Each structure stands twice: as structure tokens, then as C-alpha cells.
Amino acid sequence: MLGPTLNRLVNDRAKHEERVSAIKKALVYPSAVLGLTLVVTLLLLIEVVPIFATSFADFNADLPTSTLTLLAVSQFLQDHSGLLTASTLFIVLVTRWSLG
């Protein structure tokens, strides 16, 4: 009676491990795309947007709220780049540590 139950438990556990492995494999590409998108967005906000900010300042024109918000986010990221880097490293390390 115990033998068949243990066999079923072993089979269920093996199927579970296969599913977990398949899910992890399926998430690799979307995770890579998301990570690359975040890096490119940050680079644009930190390196490219400030170039436009100086051009906008030279025009002395009224800017839309969305543009002002984008400029403010860019300035915040420039001012707090050390905090952003430290936070990112902390999150990566905690995630790696918790996943084993």
C-alpha cells in the first residue's frame, strides 16, 4: 500500500519539476527583452533627453506637461544615478540569493 503511494508521489514530483523547468525556460526571452528595454530607456533618459532639454531651454517656449514630466524624470535619474545603481545591484543580489 505504501509502495504505490510513494511511486505516485515520485511521479508527481518529477512532473512538477518538469513544469517548473519549462516555465523558467519560457520566461528567459521575455525577461531578456524587458531587461534590454529598461536599459535602453534609461540610457535615452540619461544621455539623450538632456540634449533636447538644452534645446528646449533655448527656445523659451511653453512645453506640454508630458514633455516637462519626461524632462523631470530625466533630471531625477541624472541627479540620483548612484542611488539607482545601488538599488539595482541590491535587487539583483537579493533576487539571486533568494532563488539560490
Kindly list the distances between the CA atom of residue 91 and the CA atoms of 38, 57, 85, 88, 97, in Å, as whole numbers in the listed order.
15, 36, 10, 5, 10
Q: How far apart are CA 98 and CA 100, in angstroms?
A: 5
Q: What is the pTM of this model?
A: 0.71
pLDDT(95) > 90: no
Place of cell 533655448: 58
Domain span at 63: 2-99
Counted domains in the chain = 1
pLDDT tens per residue, range 29-83:
999 999 999 999 999 999 999 999 988 888 888 999 999 999 999 999 999 989 9
pLDDT tens per residue, range 14-23:
999 999 999 9
What is the model's pLDDT at position 68? 94
